[in-house]
Amino acid sequence: MNLSDEQSLPDWELLTSWVAVIETGSVSEAARLLHISQAAVSQRIKQLETIFSTSLLDRSTRPAQPTSAGQRLFENAKDLLTRADQMMESVRSVSRAKRMIVRFGCVDSFAATVGPLLIKALSSSSHQIRLWSGITPTLDGLIEGRQLDLAVTTSLTALPGISRTQLFTERYYVVLPAKFEVDRFGSLLDLSRHLQFIRYSARSVIGQQVDEYLQRTGDALERTCEFDASDPLLSLVASGMGFALTTPLCIWQSRHFIPGIRVVPLSSFSRQGRAYPDLTRTFFLAYRQGELGTLPNEVRDLVRIAARKQISLDISAQLGLEKDVLWTPPEGD
């Protein structure tokens, strides 16, 4: 198409006016529909006739009827305008998708530590992020019921249509009151004779993991205080009321208690001459495959970078632990 051809094409207003004239049956009705004067409609018809070098209305009849050329123009103009509407809606839907609200659920320790960094990193995108927190079983139910779009949990439970990708892993530690002194660490059962064991409730994944671990090691620790959250648990430990098994991220979530606690590796304890094995928990990102474009991959990469390059270093510096407190999968996994 050369420039002279392009200049001779009718614009959308001319085509819209022609379709209105044919559909309403008169110039006056078309003018009323388009909120313009009858003279303006008549002028647009004359412009179309000039462009196509042919009469579009048979003015010898009352009311005027479209000529064969006019009828053909009506059919094609109607099709073009319909497709133009579809084009506009398609483009607008993409724009709306870019600004869509993303419902993001995550376990409490993640929400309080990594969550703010993730929201800050995503603030330059056009997504609106709503961050919710809770325990893993609740979050699994919400994403399965489509009440969440993304969820960070510590569960590998298979759910229909839900994909999971690994974010990072951390070890469990024994947390003691800062003023508690002991010559040497024996078993956790021995420790419980000096301090009561304060545990997470069994309805949380972290509580279930700790209970299963204690069953494997043979430490039948008495059930006393149980909590879903880290704040009350660490509050009791810091006040000298007992000890707990928890993770660096949970401690970092409640870091105002750090001056009152002491963090000891499980391997410092032994049972029947053998050091306690490590206990770990892994965080996963759950999402519905193909529904959020590249967002899950963006979130995965941002979380891994934040965990490896900031959160892990901050925690290790404050607690005096190894630098890889949170470790991520190899690049490309």
Is the same domain home to 79 and 140?
Answer: no
Q: What is the DSSP string of 249-291?
A: HHHHHTGGGGGGEEEEEGGG-EETTEEPPP-EEEEEEEEETTS
Is the same domain home to 163 and 299?
Answer: yes
- Region 221-228: mean pLDDT is 87
In a domain, 258, yes or no: yes
Is the same domain home to 153 and 286?
Answer: yes
- pLDDT category, 239, cuts 50, 70, 90? very high
Better-scored residue on pLDDT, 318 or 333: 318
> How confident is the model over 255-293, as pLDDT tens digits?
999 999 999 999 999 988 899 999 999 999 999 887 888
Q: What's the angle, vertex CA 112, arms to CA 141 and CA 167, rounded to 5?
A: 65
- Going from the C-alpha of 320 to that of each of 112, 170, 264, 276, 317, the distances in angstroms are 21, 15, 10, 20, 5
Is the same domain home to 177 and 274?
Answer: yes
CATH classification at residue 37: 1.10.10.10
In a domain, 239, yes or no: yes
Is the same domain home to 265 and 183?
Answer: yes
Is the same domain home to 81 and 7?
Answer: yes
CB crowding 235-265: b at 16 or more within 10 Å, else e: bbbbeeebbbbbbbbbbbbbbebbeebbbbb
Phi, psi of 158 (to 5 degrees): -75, 125
In a domain, 310, yes or no: no
In a domain, 237, yes or no: yes
The last residue of a domain, from among 61, 76, 96: 96
Given the structure tokens 């006393």, which residue do they identify?
A: 224
Is the same domain home to 236 and 271?
Answer: yes
In a domain, 213, yes or no: yes
Predicted TM-score (pTM) of the model is 0.67
How confident is the model at residue 135, as a pLDDT? 83
CATH classification at residue 270: 3.40.190.10
Strand 280-288 versus strand 173-177 pairing type: unpaired
- pLDDT category, 3, cuts 50, 70, 90? very low
Indicate the DSSP class of residue 214.
H
Strand 226-227 versus strand 199-200 pairing type: parallel
Phi, psi of 261 (to 5 degrees): -130, 165
In a domain, 313, yes or no: no
Q: Residue 212's Cα: distance from chain center in Å?
A: 31
Q: What's the angle, vertex CA 325, arms to CA 227 and CA 202, rounded to 5?
A: 20
Q: One-letter amino acid identity for 81?
A: L
In a domain, 329, yes or no: no
Residues pairing with 168 in the sheet? 283
Q: Which residue from 303, 244, 260 is spatially nearest to 113, judged by alpha carbons?
A: 303
Is the same domain home to 164 and 69?
Answer: no
How confident is the model at residue 125, as a pLDDT? 64
The last residue of a domain, from among 52, 70, 96: 96
> How confident is the model over 50-84, as pLDDT tens digits?
988 999 888 888 777 889 998 999 999 888 888 88
Is the same domain home to 159 and 294?
Answer: yes
The pLDDT > 90 percentage for the chain reads 43
Is the same domain home to 141 and 114?
Answer: yes
Structural domain count of the chain:
3
The last residue of a domain, from among 80, 96, 112: 96
> How confident is the model over 20-40, as pLDDT tens digits?
888 888 888 888 888 889 899
> How confident is the model over 244-254, as pLDDT tens digits?
999 999 999 99
In a domain, 319, yes or no: no
Is the same domain home to 248 and 161?
Answer: no
Rounded-to-integer distance, Cα 253 and Cα 256, Å = 9
Structural domain range at position 150: 99-168+281-304
Is the same domain home to 122 and 264?
Answer: no
> How confident is the model over 188-217, as pLDDT tens digits?
999 999 999 999 998 888 999 999 999 999
